[in-house]
């Protein structure tokens, strides 16, 4: 995997099956145009934050769930060509979105940390955060160390994607989601676990592991604007 398209959307709870049917149809089109993997995750443990959160990122309404998803591509060039071809593919016009696409946020990201390449998951911790461009190296160093720690506690895979093509939207976008400021990039990340139970058990231990205790004076980003949540995988293909 060398390029990621990340997505966050709000989907009516009653449309869960319709959404799954929709993404299964979209999957075949994305794969026809070069994508190697699509993963869709349904909001399960998504907290409300004091400053930012996934709910506000997509202006979630009552009766909706937050979706955290991504598409993997072998390169940015393949992704760009694939997305251009998708725009012209007549089959795309037949897809009916069972959610408000205007509030979906999306962007392209280069992986800067990838601990393990396991292509299986059952539960996801999804994360987005603003990181100063000047702190890129410090962030990668910190993220690499914590990724190895997550793996030690049972995570299957940890990926950190550095914002490359996170465009401004009319209603919502990744930059607004984390209140990114001038000179900051958006990072799109996930931790893949085999199950929610493994994830919950790991976090109980991680919270008391001294290696996880942050040095607030050396944090390479503003943790108050980081958004996160737990998601159940509903499609991994």
- What pLDDT score does 40 carry? 98
Residue 207 tokens, joined: 């919270």
Whether 1 shows a pLDDT value over 70: the answer reads: no
Calculate the alpha carbon distances from 21 to 99, 111, 116, 158, 234 in Å: 13, 29, 30, 28, 11
CB contact at 8 A, 140 and 160: yes
Surface-to-core class of residue 182, CB atoms within 10 Å of its CB (0-12 exposed, 13-18 middle, 19+ buried): exposed
pTM: 0.95
Bridge partners of 106, per DSSP, are: 7
Residue 209 tokens, joined: 């592991």
User: CATH number for the 3-236 domain, one of 3.60.150.10, 3.90.1150.110, 3.40.47.10, 3.30.70.100?
Assistant: 3.30.70.100
Whether 83 shows a pLDDT value over 90: the answer reads: yes
* pLDDT grade for 214, boundaries at 50, 70 and 90: confident
What share of the chain in percent tops pLDDT 90? 91
In tens, the pLDDT along 145-177 reads: 999 999 999 999 999 999 999 888 999 999 999
Calculate the alpha carbon distances from 35 to 2, 4, 109, 113, 229 in Å: 11, 10, 14, 20, 25
| Residue range 5-29: mean pLDDT, rounded | 97
- Kindly list the domain boundaries of the chain, sorted by start residue: 3-236
Helix boundaries (H) for the chain: 16-32, 54-57, 76-88, 136-152, 174-177, 196-206
In tens, the pLDDT along 125-152 reads: 999 999 999 999 999 999 999 999 999 9
């Amino acid at each position: 995997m060398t390029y990621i398209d990340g997505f966050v959307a709000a989907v009516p709870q009653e449309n869960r099956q319709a959404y799954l049917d929709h993404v299964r149809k979209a999957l075949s089109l994305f794969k026809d145009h070069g994508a190697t993997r699509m993963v869709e995750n349904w909001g399960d443990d998504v907290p409300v934050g004091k400053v930012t959160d996934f709910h506000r990122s997509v202006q979630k309404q009552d009766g909706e769930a937050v979706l955290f998803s991504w598409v993997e591509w072998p390169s940015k060039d393949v992704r760009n060509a694939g997305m251009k071809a998708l725009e012209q593919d007549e089959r795309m016009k037949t897809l009916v979105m069972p959610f408000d696409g205007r509030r979906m946020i999306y962007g392209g990201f280069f992986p800067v940390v990838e601990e393990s390449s396991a292509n299986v998951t059952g539960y996801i911790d999804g994360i987005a955060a603003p990181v100063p461009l000047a702190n890129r190296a410090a962030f990668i160093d910190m993220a690499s160390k914590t990724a190895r720690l997550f793996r030690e506690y049972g995570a299957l895979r940890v990926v950190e994607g550095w914002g490359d093509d996170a465009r401004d939207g009319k209603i919502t976008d990744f930059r607004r989601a984390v209140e990114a400021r001038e000179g900051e990039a958006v990072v799109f990340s996930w931790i893949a676990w085999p199950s929610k139970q493994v994830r919950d058990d790991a976090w109980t231990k991680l919270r008391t592991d001294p290696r996880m205790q942050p040095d607030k004076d050396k944090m390479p980003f503003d943790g108050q604007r980081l958004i996160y949540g737990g998601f159940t995988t509903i499609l991994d293909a």
